[in-house]
Chain A
């Protein structure tokens, strides 16, 4: 349950942890700040109170005793401070004043200049500013008490006009910086993932840059080493296949010549057919092994005619399917391509459609957003969904097709995809809703 609430991406997780930590630090900092402010406010309030009390005391004590009530009435204007004359010190249900505040108040009360004769004989304090009110009494030299009841405003640690703005600004900046830093720090992970993905499609993908923080550089170097090993492995295998293909040409040629001396027509025909098949396999292997597109220059070619030519040739080679080969699309469409390679790719796809589906209908979608689409459809049984992508792996074939009728070594589709991707296009397979398979070729217009 909790697991599901944890975000999946490393960047989000890291950002979340950092932001949570930041929040804790912020809250602690704010609390300390608030306590500090409260203390300072208390001190200021007490000092302020002391000065006010002393001023009233001086005025009252300077006046003749019978006029004191009048003076007091004059001075009793403030709503938070009430003064009265009494024969006794103030009393009330209030706690003791903390000793440090008592000391502070006493010191401050003595700050106001007053002749020695007028100094209060005694002080009496009750209450705590934290409780909101204080009772302070001062005995005048003639023994009468001047008692005060002061309301003390509760401290307001947050009441600063710039506080909220500053706090929000700080939080936002910290959050943005955190997100930026985390994204930057986790970027190499994304780069690595992308590189691994690219390597899966193209072993000759350029290596990762081995710079940045040491851990990232080490990971990139390790990745590049792995990629180089895979590349060497693939190269070795392809070179071996190419070598076998080259070596097979001579014996196949000999066998074809020998077959010509077989008198039995039927036997000779069958031998030649077998040899053709063998040759087709060798040819496919060689085409896969060679970087077919590297040497051939790019030139303009009529794609529409190329498709029709491939269909014509397929029809000539397999007259039984010739009536099921159709072309639909513009009569001419120029693309820039490597003619031999492109023809091979399209021929492989069309041959596949005929082999597995008994027909091939080719439809060219005119350029849209810089892409030309070519759909090659058949009316066969289609391809199991889990095989749609795997059939592009070299030597992989749909299990049910591993029989003599459909032949092949499982290189037709990988070759087609290699060539089309080298052209900046691609090919994907899907099953048509009405049945049959569809190969969708894309090419840059």
Chain B
């Protein structure tokens, strides 16, 4: 992460654009603000960006249409700003291929953590060859990224907290590879208060309980000596 990430921020509120630019620049990122979809398209062709932060509620052409258009242009990671409580917007956005979302009014630090996590993920797997999967199946369980939900083998939803979901996605996307505690810590940062170290262990033990994976003799999420976890299962993408 030596290069400064360049972010295209699309939001119709001038104050938010400016403040967000200042905030992200304070955290060593480069920001180009855009007021609406038209300006975003103009800036898109004029520059090169690592990630787009996109408000879905834009005057004129909607953020969803803009995201759809961007997806036809490149695999650039997109973090959506959705209106609080508008579940349908969020689901459509994630189905369109946005990488993550933050509900407005968002916590700036949480947004920063999401941007970093998405950038890291993009850096690891880029260039991205496959589109975001509609579902990830492992050991009888199914993860649906668009709805951020986990289904058990009987297709019954097993509720997860936001942190547990992020953790599980990270483990599933890198199945059979060891994730260090540091990587997992990054995922949870901005999600919750309190000591992160303990939060990882707590979240893993809760995940094991929900996946009916016996903590003493875990088969699905295995603890790796030296500090890390691995999901031991084959993942089918659909």
Distance in angstroms from A282 CB to nearest chain B CB is 8
Q: Does B47 contact A (CB under 8 A)?
A: no
Interchain CB contact under 8 A, A256 and B105: yes
Q: Does A316 contact B (CB under 8 A)?
A: yes
**In residues 245-259 of chain A, which contact B (Cβ within 8 Å)?**
246, 249-250, 252-254, 256-258
Which residue of the partner chain, among B85, B108, B206, contacts A257 with CB atoms under 8 Å?
B108
Interchain CB contact under 8 A, A283 and B84: yes
Distance in angstroms from A408 CB to nearest chain B CB is 17
- Knowing A305-B210, A309-B159, A316-B192, the reply to whether A261 touches B22 (Cβ < 8 A) is yes
What's the Cα separation between A258 and B88 when bound, in Å? 29
Closest to B112 in A: A260
Task: Type the 1/0 row for A288-321, where 1 means its CB is closer than 8 Å to any CB of B.
Answer: 0010000110011110011001101100110100
What's the Cα separation between A296 and B85 when bound, in Å? 12
Interchain CB contact under 8 A, A334 and B105: no
**In residues 60-114 of chain B, which contact A (Cβ within 8 Å)?**
83-85, 87-88, 104-109
What's the Cα separation between A394 and B233 when bound, in Å? 49
Residues in A with CB closer than 8 Å to B16 are 250, 253-254, 257
Interchain CB contact under 8 A, B104 and A306: no
Interchain CB contact under 8 A, B156 and A254: no
Distance in angstroms from A357 CB to nearest chain B CB is 22
Residues in B with CB closer than 8 Å to A334 are 154, 156
Task: Type the 1/0 row for B210-230, where 1 means its CB is closer than 8 Å to any CB of A.
Answer: 100000000000000000000
Which residue of the partner chain, among A249, A275, A309, contacts B104 with CB atoms under 8 Å?
A249
Interchain CB contact under 8 A, B156 and A302: yes
Q: Does A343 contact B (CB under 8 A)?
A: yes
Interchain CB contact under 8 A, A301 and B159: yes
- Knowing A253-B106, A256-B106, the reply to whether A309 touches B161 (Cβ < 8 A) is yes
Q: Does A287 contact B (CB under 8 A)?
A: yes
Residues in A with CB closer than 8 Å to B149 are 339
Interchain CB contact under 8 A, B15 and A306: no
What's the Cα separation between A339 and B163 when bound, in Å? 18
Interchain CB contact under 8 A, B13 and A254: yes
Task: Type the 1/0 row for B1-41, where 1 means its CB is closer than 8 Å to any CB of A.
Answer: 00000000000010110011011001000000000000000
Q: Does A180 contact B (CB under 8 A)?
A: no
What's the Cα separation between A252 and B26 when bound, in Å? 20
Interchain CB contact under 8 A, B19 and A257: yes
Q: Does A413 contact B (CB under 8 A)?
A: no
Interchain CB contact under 8 A, B13 and A250: yes
Interchain CB contact under 8 A, A302 and B20: no
- Knowing A260-B108, A339-B149, the reply to whether A305 touches B158 (Cβ < 8 A) is yes
What's the Cα separation between A256 and B103 when bound, in Å? 13
Name which of A260, A296, A339 has the most chain B CB atoms within 10 A of its CB: A260
Q: Does B152 contact A (CB under 8 A)?
A: yes
What's the Cα separation between A144 and B22 when bound, in Å? 150
Q: Does B155 contact A (CB under 8 A)?
A: yes
Q: Does B117 contact A (CB under 8 A)?
A: no
Residues in B with CB closer than 8 Å to A252 are 105
Q: Does B179 contact A (CB under 8 A)?
A: no
Q: Does B160 contact A (CB under 8 A)?
A: yes
Task: Type the 1/0 row for A318-339, where 1 means its CB is closer than 8 Å to any CB of B.
Answer: 0100000000000000100001
- Knowing A309-B160, A316-B194, the reply to whether A257 touches B155 (Cβ < 8 A) is no
Interchain CB contact under 8 A, A300 and B107: no
Main secondary structure of the interface of B (DSSP, over half): mixed
Distance in angstroms from B213 CB to nearest chain A CB is 13
Distance in angstroms from B166 CB to nearest chain A CB is 14
Interchain CB contact under 8 A, A300 and B157: yes
- Knowing A250-B16, A300-B156, A339-B149, the reply to whether A287 touches B85 (Cβ < 8 A) is yes
What's the Cα separation between A323 and B13 when bound, in Å? 43
Q: Does A286 contact B (CB under 8 A)?
A: yes
Distance in angstroms from B1 CB to nearest chain A CB is 21
- Knowing A253-B106, A256-B105, the reply to whether A319 touches B159 (Cβ < 8 A) is no
Interchain CB contact under 8 A, A306 and B105: no
Closest to B19 in A: A257
- Knowing A260-B108, A302-B152, A339-B149, the reply to whether A254 touches B15 (Cβ < 8 A) is yes
Interchain CB contact under 8 A, B87 and A340: yes
Interchain CB contact under 8 A, B159 and A305: yes
Residues in A with CB closer than 8 Å to B157 are 299-302, 339
Residues in B with CB closer than 8 Å to A253 are 13, 16, 104-106
What's the Cα separation between A254 and B108 when bound, in Å? 10
Distance in angstroms from B157 CB to nearest chain A CB is 4
What's the Cα separation between A415 and B185 when bound, in Å? 35
Interchain CB contact under 8 A, B194 and A254: no
Q: Does A393 contact B (CB under 8 A)?
A: no
**In residues 160-201 of chain B, which contact A (Cβ within 8 Å)?**
160-161, 163-164, 192-194, 199
Interchain CB contact under 8 A, A260 and B156: no
Q: Does A128 contact B (CB under 8 A)?
A: no
What's the Cα separation between A309 and B157 when bound, in Å? 12
Residues in B with CB closer than 8 Å to A272 are 107
Q: Does A210 contact B (CB under 8 A)?
A: no
Which residue of the partner chain, among A256, A295, A301, contacts B156 with CB atoms under 8 Å?
A301
Residues in B with CB closer than 8 Å to A286 are 84-85
What's the Cα separation between A256 and B110 when bound, in Å? 11
Distance in angstroms from A424 CB to nearest chain B CB is 19
Name which of B83, B109, B156, B206 has the most chain A CB atoms within 10 A of its CB: B156
Q: Can you name 20 A-B residue pairings with CB atoms under 8 Å?
A: A249-B84, A257-B19, A257-B20, A258-B19, A286-B84, A286-B85, A287-B85, A290-B85, A296-B87, A300-B156, A301-B158, A301-B159, A302-B156, A302-B157, A302-B158, A305-B158, A317-B193, A339-B149, A339-B157, A339-B159
Q: Which residues of A does B touch, CB under 8 Å?
A: 246, 249-250, 252-254, 256-258, 260-261, 272, 275, 279, 282-283, 286-287, 290, 295-296, 299-302, 305-306, 309-310, 312-313, 316-317, 319, 334, 339-340, 343
Additional A-B contacts beyond A300-B155, A319-B194 (18; CB < 8 A):
A246-B83, A250-B105, A254-B15, A254-B16, A254-B19, A257-B22, A257-B23, A260-B23, A260-B26, A261-B19, A272-B107, A279-B105, A296-B87, A300-B156, A305-B210, A316-B199, A319-B193, A334-B154
